[in-house]
Structure 1
Amino acid sequence: MVAKELMTSHVIKIDANATIGQAVELLREHTISGLPVTDAQGRLIGVITGGDVLRAIQQKAQKIYHSLFGPTQVVIDENVWKEDSNRLLNLPVEKMMSRSPFTVQPQTPVGEIADLMIRQNIRRVFVLEHDKLVGIITRNDIVRWLVRHVG
């Protein structure tokens, strides 16, 4: 089996100039954990995940102070948090996205894709054909395929 036989071809994506808030809404609405980020020409330029957003929120929600006893975490004032979160949600996606998404070709064997996911500890790969985004394969896709075809 190869990528084009396993991939999801209807890919939910987001433009690099969209806001983090819009990305969060798409992630929530479609119950997905990551979105490919495209430029104005529709080329894949990055990926934004729920983990990226969660890390940014955690960094904004807490300040680390070093004392004589080592680091301690202090939650910041709620009003400051509201201001920070509004600023964060209005940032463009390209400010928070990972810029090196993992990609494969439509003819890449599924075994190679599974190996890539394990070696790189990633949850999704994007399928490109002539630099155009044509699909996505997630860890869950691979697991479902294995369950159906093994044993």
Structure 2
Amino acid sequence: MTAKEIMTTPALTAGPETPLETIAELMLTHRISGVPIVDSEDRLLGIVTESDLIEEERRTQHLPRLSLFGLALVREGTVKDAYLASHQFIAREVMTKKVFTVHPDTPVTEIAGLLVQERINRVPVVAEGKVVGIISRADLVRALHRSALL
């Protein structure tokens, strides 16, 4: 069994200028944990994962605050500016640029090893430099289960 037999196609992708809010909505709507970032010709530039979004949110939790008798108070006039500044990031600013990929003819056993060894949840399938599909851990488990039933 190979990648082309189990991959989800077409892969849901986004461009490098896509706002993170849009990417988060895609992930939630489609129940996926990562979105490959591609250029106008579908060439892979990076990937935005749940971990990237969580890390960005953690990193930007810097709203100016004052404390009074143990109560956290947010300074007037800075809340809106700080919130907007921390929520206007785009994909290219937070995407993981080192992305593991597989070819459509890559054996499923090799893909399983890659996901486990590199501790990743999904891998884009790339042919001739373009993203043609994606394989998640769920896709892999589904395929292994299906093959065990045959």
Instruction: Please give the TM-score of this superposition, normalised by the length of structure 2.
Output: 0.83
Distance 1:128 1:76, change over 3 A: farther
What is the CA distance between 1:147 and its match in structure 2?
2.0
**Distance (Å, rounded) in 1 between the aligned partners of 2:26 and 2:108:** 27
Whether the aligned pair in 1 keeps the contact of 2:41 and 2:130 (CA below 8 Å) is no
Partner of 2:69: none
Return the offset for 1:40.
Answer: 2.8
1:90 is aligned, of 88, 91, 94, to 88
Match of 2:53, as an amino acid?
A: V
1:96-135 to structure 2, matched below 5 A, reads 96-135=94-133
**3-state secondary structure, aligned to 2:60:** helix
Runs of 4+ aligned residues of structure 1 deviating over 6 Å after TM superposition are none
> How far apart are 1:150 and its partner, in Å?
2.7
Aligned length: 140
Equivalent position amino acid for 1:27 in 2: M
**CA 1:49–1:77 in structure 2 vs 1: closer, same or farther (change >3 Å)?**
farther
**Shift in alpha-carbon separation, 1:59–1:4, aligned structure 2, 3 A:** same
1:14–1:36 Cα contact (<8 Å) kept: yes
Measure how far apart 1:137 and its partner are: 0.3
Aligned position for 2:58: 58
The separation in 2 between residues aligned to 1:140 and 1:78, in whole angstroms, is: 45
- Counterpart secondary structure, 1:150: helix
Matched, 1:11 2:26: no
The answer to whether the 8 A contact 1:20-1:88 is kept is no
CA–CA separation in structure 2 for the residues paired with 1:87 and 1:149: 49
State the one-letter code of the partner of 2:32. Answer: I
Q: Does 1:140 align with 2:138?
A: yes
Query: Where is the strand percentage greater, Structure 1 or Structure 2?
Result: 1
One-letter code aligned to 2:11:
V
When normalised by structure 1's length, the TM-score is: 0.82
* 1:25-56 deviation line (CA, Å, top 9, x unaligned): 21122121110001233211100012211111
